[in-house]
Amino acid sequence: MSKLRVYQLAKELEVPSRRIIDLLKDIGCEVKNHMSVVDKEAAQRIRYQLTGKGELPDSDAEKAKPENDARKKTSEKEKTAAVRKKQAATKDSLKRSPKKKDKDNLKKEKDGKKASAAGEHKSNKKTKTSRKKRLNKKERKARREALLQQQQERLENTIFLGGRVTVGELANKMEVSANEIIAKLIDLGIMAAINQAIDLDIAKMLAEEYGFNVEIEKDELEEELVEAVEDREEDLRPRSPVVTVLGHVDHGKTSLLDAIRKANVTAQEAGGITQHIGAYQASYQGKKIVFLDTPGHEAFTAMRARGAQVTDIAVIVVAADDGVMPQTVEAINHVKAANVPIIIAINKIDRPNANPDRVRQQLTEYGLVPEEWGGDTIMVEVSALKKIGIDNLMEMILLLAEMSELKANPNKPALGTVIEAKLDKGRGAVATVLIQEGTLQVGDSVICGTVYGKVRAMVDDKGKRIKKAGPATPVEILGLSDVPEAGDDFQAVTDDKMARQIAEKRAEKRRELELSKSPKVSLDDLFSQIQQGEVKELNIIIKADVHGSVQALRESLLKLSTDEVRVHVIHEGVGGIAESDVMLASASNAIIIGFNVRPDANARKVAERENIEIRLYRVIYEALEDVEKAMKGMLAPQFKEVVLGQAEVRQLFKVSRLGTIAGSYVLEGKIARNAEVRVIRDGVVIHEGKINTLRRFKDDVREVLAGYECGILLEKFHDFKEGDIIEAFVMQQMQPA
């Protein structure tokens, strides 16, 4: 092989690249990274140092002799000079004050001086003698071998951890039985099987308990990519605030942005409803403000669930004539959970039945008290249609941004977040990116989460092609290898090959993370998580059929708070459990409690994917009992509900002798004759019972699969309406853990 690189030498010697780099620097070979070339002599020295095999290069041995001799001569000269200086100082002190010292003391000092001089002379003589003796080849070899043995023992006593570590892998590294490790974990209150991944900190603690040195292996590629250099104060420049606009549907979010940007966006969109996530820039008093126009808080929370915090200020739009609506409450709770400052825009004040004070009063119920009433929430009255109050809103946004002192360094490679991405038939993968730090230029190599590429073109929010974009600038970029996910981190890099390698590694790590992902909080394992100190606050989302039930549940659950765990209701609402509820639970590590309501199909799928617990009840005290028992460690769930399928009622047939038969179409799964069923209307459960008859045409059948029609007759229920959902389910006994 013509060129030997650091990572190849590290692989040959079975040590991390970082160790080879450090050893090379110790011998004076400057290398930058794992791809640097190592010359033949340096590689020979490293091999000898780590394995004891082969021999040191002759040039090293020859160089060492004069350096050692010179070092020893210098040391002897320094010692002799020190002794003479000390003797001279003693003589001077005796000359200056002989009268003050009696004869005995003077004699003692002289004797001490002679003894000291004799000792120094003897020491010098001994040093000279030892300097004359040089070690022979056999003794040098023995000394080298002893040194290498010490290094080898230390290396053998060191284990390297990094990435995903299972119980079995840790046991193999430490050469102990897996059962022994499992027993240690149980003592720590952690239940883990042999193939289950464990936290790196726990693995490190266990290894150190067994007397091992632990080194955490770092990904050299990731270290090369992100240099953890703190920005200097003089490099930081003020940047534009990023504002997200949220609110209830049809309360005027897009119309408000339309008024701000003076561009007719609403007319381009079907039915006036926003069809995509857009990022737009607006100018006011010479200062720019970036607006993110989302279809709803679901996208806002989905990005937050992926770890992206791009919003500086949230503007929640509330219609003055409609007041606070369910989606308004959801938006407030989502923004509060993200800990983002809120400005309330009370829109449509030009309407005849507008009542801004009623809106203010309603908002106080959700902890938002206006400044004019002694609170700290900025509330601005606006009319998107009549262009009233727009200037005041912009001033308030700039004021809040000024108080936050938003700054970024534009003179470095770009860093940012993917706002949204799509696959365009003509242009390929297209991503809307918000640059948060640095400057992005056309031609830059970039990496977005698990996707890489080179910026072929950049388009700004006005549809104009641009060549570079600085901090707080939204741009659409072309040239990515695939479609990234909203919320993925974005970074410009200098090396195309490195970007590809890192993207592939990240994709692999993401798959591993999905496999070893720690479970979300659930009532079943709440007590063990409390004991381990993992849970200090139990976040709950409440959905019920009527407002009275919501209030009753909320007040009762809050009373269950203890010194160890505080119960916190982060969101509550009337109606079925929606996908947005599950996304909020995922972002906030919450459980969902439903009273007389059901999750829709999308919510159920997302809950399964995100491992979110949804508890459904028909009696309030049962919900309270379960939460209380879970907090005390007494909850012992025995049954689990498994939904078999859902059918939609499309036609009603009234039979005098039997009652009403629901002509239904199976939407998903199957409807089984012996299953339990519930009738759901607008997300609310109106009946639970059993199937009396299940028919396909004139035949009685045991089950009907998705995509087929059937007739369903229930026991003791005939009050069907077209559009009702019939859900079939069974209760399965859970296996003991």
Q: What is the 3-state secondary structure (H, E, C) of 399-436?
A: HHHHHHCCEECCCCECEEEEEEEEEECCCEEEEEEEEE
Task: List, as one string, the DSSP characters of 181-206.
Answer: HHHHHHHTT----TT-EE-HHHHHHH
Question: Given a cut of 90, is residue 442 above it in pLDDT?
Answer: yes
C-alpha separations of 54 from 60, 398, 556, 600, 653 in Å:
14, 70, 76, 70, 93
What is 240-405's CATH topology? Rossmann fold (3.40.50)
> Is the predicted pLDDT of residue 592 greater than 90, yes or no?
yes
Q: Quote the pLDDT of residue 633.
A: 66
Tokens coding 320? 């003055």
pLDDT of residue 79: 43
- Contact of 373 with 205, CB cutoff 8 Å: no
The maximal CA–CA distance of the chain, rounded, in angstroms, is 138
Q: How confident is the model at residue 346 (pLDDT cuts 50, 70, 90)?
A: very high
According to the model, what pLDDT value does residue 455 have? Answer: 92
Q: Which of 28-32, 59-63, 707-711 has the lowest mean pLDDT?
A: 59-63
Average pLDDT over residues 204-223: 72
Q: Which range among 150-164, 422-436, 534-548 shows the weakest confidence by mean pLDDT?
A: 150-164
CATH architecture assigned to 4-56: Orthogonal Bundle (1.10)
What Å distances lie between residue 495 and 198, 224, 508, CA to CA? 34, 10, 20
Task: With cut-offs at 50, 70 and 90, classify the pLDDT of residue 571.
Answer: confident
CA distances from 513 to 33, 168, 225, 401, 561 (A): 27, 17, 21, 36, 33
Query: pLDDT tens digits for 364-385?
Result: 998 899 988 988 899 999 998 8
If you ran DSSP here, which 8-state letter would residue 492 be given?
A: E
> To which residue do tokens 């995922």 refer?
586
User: Over the chain, what is the mean pLDDT?
Assistant: 77
Residue 438 has pLDDT above 70, yes or no: yes
CA-wise closest residue to 679 among 720, 632, 715 = 720
Fold of 526-637: Rossmann fold (3.40.50)
Asked if residue 515 has pLDDT above 60, the reply is no
- CA gap 292, 260 in Å, rounded: 13
- CA dist 389 and 393 (Å) reads 6
Strands (E), 486-596: 489-493, 537-544, 566-574, 590-595
Average the pLDDT over 591-595 and give the result: 91
Do the beta carbons of residue 587 and residue 558 sit within 8 Å?
Answer: no
% of the chain residues with pLDDT over 90: 19
Range with the largest mean pLDDT of 253-262, 467-476, 533-542: 467-476
Which CATH code for domain 415-516?
Answer: 2.40.30.10
Superfamily classification of domain 641-733: Translation factors (2.40.30.10)
Is the pTM higher than 0.85? The answer reads: no
∠ Cα 285 477 463 (to 5°): 50
Please tell me which residue, 545 or 720, carries the higher pLDDT value.
720
Average pLDDT, integer, range 24-49: 81
Q: How far is CA 269 from CA 218, 255, 258, 276, 295, in A?
A: 48, 11, 12, 10, 12
Kindly state the average pLDDT of the residues 205-219: 75
pLDDT, mean of residues 308-329? 86
Q: What percent of the chain has pLDDT over 70?
A: 72
Counted residue by residue, the chain has a size of 737
